[in-house]
A and B are shown apart, each in its own frame.
Chain A
């Protein structure tokens, strides 16, 4: 066959695949090897097996003390699970040597000054290879600054502010694998305007600081783009850790709103919903933090029905599409049922899904990048990660935008339904996520191209 004809045939095949909407599994550079999942029965977050010697060190920079200490533990179990999995497979071959993953808790006490000190200690004394963070964009900003100063890789898996990667704050050493504030707001608006097409009157109630305002801005932008017929009937910003939501709820009730969009995190989000239900307000709340199961149980089945959760660990229904996914799920859930002790034995840790699933698979992506870079040299990791794509066990594909290191991804809108209706999503026994509260039923995909991460035009690379 002549060269020209060969090129033509290849081009034709490629075009055909594009037309057939090339499956994302094929689009990813790498994917989680679910078939290789080792025996995880010795995994115990309270007594983790810590490898010694020459290891790949990941510092989880987070709150491990103070009121937010549980957040650090959520990160820890997620990252440690991924590390344990990879370690049992023999570790990762880097710079000609097979190394295991060591996870280190680095307590910020939720204070930027402490975060700076602990990050520097992690780099200079513990010689960590990755700073993994964290709750609070103000703390993540500190992590990124330290990462830049010492030339160490940072992964932003949990902070959500777009500003962290704008022209002023961007550092090529840091990668944002979490979703972002503006994107979340646009995703919620897209869901109501382009998918659900039902409610038209919205009320925004967010916390009165940068995060709350960014979440609100995203939603307003999204409404303009995807739901111009929608009406914003009210917009308020309340102080953090507010005690009494009743005055806001009375305003919301009087406004005729059909949906309340809130960027609040717990405890504010929980107090808002609890007080709303106590006041007889049954409106749906669209949010990303109203998924904490202990709290959902307190509100009960009726009170949590109709909530909308925008998730970064979603995939179209049903949840389990093959045996490997079931095997992975059961490896976690069986341990939760039989082995783990406080604080890892509550509803919060029942499923390796939601935020836990997301943190876990963001870590798998990091480890996959290191493995494929074949080195712990930050420059090689940066080169590998920029433009990289990775497929989670759920089939969700993440792509790292090279220019600003923000992850491009589909998001998913979870509509909460009573336990009896959760089978459409949770399709293995017991056919519901929880019996004491509403949870995920219908799932809608918000395509990545509709909610691309914000790119600061001033960022020149």
Chain B
């Protein structure tokens, strides 16, 4: 292909890659809200925490793949502890208590990373096997970004399988629909919710590890990504995984082609789309609950 076509194709793949990263962050957030009714404002902080965990794991083992496995798990453990010992206690007092608590948790995580790792920017190396470029028909594209796209698709597949093809998923969906009834059937609903919160933070953790080699790991990382992820959830509809997926891809492409064609307006395109969708459908594209 000629250089102009290669440029447009590259922009398309950039949009896809960024959209997938957005989805990884946003999916955990929307799942926790959809399943538990909790707007977890600490979600981006978990994402940042995982990036730090991956830095640490890499520093200790020198192996990116171990970091990819360990950091999201460690993040999920922190998430489970937060749910078990903090969120569960305020759940009965409604959304305001949960909101305040999750804001508090995000501040604690922020201070904790500063205490452990300082405020300097940290850098995570790409694994050797994912360095370099792929050359296809005149197009050069970084291997790592293609890996991120694949990773997000795998996570999406695992989540869809878990939720819609397993007994566990059925219980989770039932607990969301009518927690009292599921409880009466002898299923430990608080345990189910803890599991959901753990999976949600694990997904944020996967995103944190995926982004770490592309971005500087620093205490502002949560803010850097958190707002975009929140926009995805609002626009896609609170609680909708498919909404988060579609909107993440749309936002990714808007961002990419926006820079290409109307660079000055690129940063606001996401907001414009969100406004249009919310005017037409206030619950978001696929949202059912406000």
Residues of A within 8 A of B (CB): 66-70, 208, 236-239, 241, 243-244, 246-248, 250-251, 253-254, 266-267, 270-271, 274-275, 278-280, 292, 294-295, 297-298, 342-343, 346, 348
Contact = CB atoms under 8 A, between A and B. Distances in A.
B14 A250 contact: yes
Most buried by A among B21, B118, B120: B120
Nearest to B125: A298
Interface string B227-266: 0100000000000000000000000000111111001101
Contacts of A67: 119, 218-220
A280 B126 CA distance: 14
Given A67-B218, A346-B120, A280 B256 contact: no
Contacts of B150: none
Q: Is the interface of B mostly helix, strand, loop or mixed?
A: helix
B18 interface: yes
B220 A241 contact: yes
Nearest to B120: A70
B119 A251 contact: no
The residue in A243, A244, A250, A346 that gathers the most chain B C-beta atoms within 10 A of its C-beta is A244
Interface residues of B, number: 48
A266 B126 contact: no
B224 interface: yes
Contacts of A271: 214-216
Contacts of A70: 118-120
A244 B267 CA distance: 12
B120 A343 contact: yes
B115 to A, nearest CB: 11
Interface string B177-203: 000000000000000000000000000
B264 A237 contact: yes
Interface stretch (B2-10, B60-68, B79-87, B160-168): B2-10
15 contacts: A66-B119, A67-B119, A70-B120, A236-B259, A238-B259, A238-B267, A243-B228, A244-B14, A244-B21, A250-B14, A267-B218, A278-B142, A294-B120, A297-B123, A343-B119
B223 interface: yes
A246 B125 contact: no
A346 B126 CA distance: 22
Interface string B125-155: 1100001110000001010110000000000
B123 A298 contact: yes
B267 A208 contact: yes
A244 B223 contact: no
Contacts of B214: 244, 271, 274-275, 278
Interface in B1-26: 3-4, 7, 10-11, 14-15, 17-18, 21
